[in-house]
Amino acid sequence: MRKGILTLLVGVLVVSSGCTGLITGETVAFDSAPATVSDSALDETGYEQSMADEQTIERTVTVAGQERTIRVTNHVRQYQRGIDLGPVGEVNAGRFIVFSTPSASVAGQTLNPAASWSNERLVEEVASRNDQINDVQFERNRTVEALGESREVAVFSGTTTIEGQSVDVLIHLTSFEHEGDVVVAVAVYPERLDDSEGPRVDTLLGGLSHSGN
């Protein structure tokens, strides 16, 4: 489940951004600041960091009718928690992924798809590009405090396969701009554990840290 979600985030959230280099034809580099979860939130929830990655991607964009090359550096952090799923034993079925990528516009043109997409659009991309989460359906919207503001979190249901067993899961997804970056957080866990895992997701979101650029 991890590889599919991470590949998807990189694929659909690659940011285009711009400055004078886009006008002169130079390759322009943009870096995001990592978004992480605080140690206190991890201690409270039992989640542990399992991956930290920096990904640099070059992309050609069109600005004012001219093609230009940009170089974007994104950051991904993944956290996980072992959950007892009965017959299959304890597996890392609770996952929380936070992705940060630069945000900008040129002459009023928004070049970052993640900056304008709704949570529903993002999860549609997840469903269409990730064959490990199937039958995704919208359930509800809710609000959670994260990085000093109330953020809308969309909750979806779906199915995945864990250790050869089909498992109903819930997906919590939020995306927002913060200090020059787009921050996207995705949590996935077995639906039957919503009463215990839902509050953990709230704690992880509340424990987000991001300094911006």
Q: Chunked in runs of 10, what are the mean pLDDT values of the chain (213 residues)? A: 48 42 60 94 97 85 72 88 83 89 64 67 65 83 96 92 86 91 91 95 98 75
Contact in structure between 115 and 130 (CB atoms under 8 Å): no
**CATH superfamily to which 33-54+74-209 belongs:** Mog1/PsbP, alpha/beta/alpha sandwich (3.40.1000.10)
**Which pLDDT score is estimated for 183?**
92
**Which pLDDT score is estimated for 123?**
76
Contact in structure between 131 and 192 (CB atoms under 8 Å): no
0.85 cut: is pTM over it? no
Q: Please state whether 138 falls in left (phi above 0), alpha (psi between -120 and 50) or beta.
A: beta
Question: Judging by DSSP bridges, how do beta strands 149-162 and 35-37 pair with one another?
Answer: unpaired
Q: What is the CA radius of gyration of the chain?
A: 18
Task: Tell me how far apart the alpha carbons of residues 153 and 16 are, in angstroms, rounded to a whole number.
Answer: 24
Task: Tell me how far apart the alpha carbons of residues 129 and 148 are, in angstroms, rounded to a whole number.
Answer: 32
Q: How many CB atoms lie within 10 A of CB 65?
A: 5
**CA-to-CA separations, 174 to 76, 109, 146, 177, 180, in angstroms, rounded:** 15, 23, 10, 10, 17
Task: Tell me how far apart the alpha carbons of residues 154 and 151 are, in angstroms, rounded to a whole number.
Answer: 10
Q: Which amino acid is at 70?
A: I
Q: For residue 168, what are the β-bridge partners?
A: 159
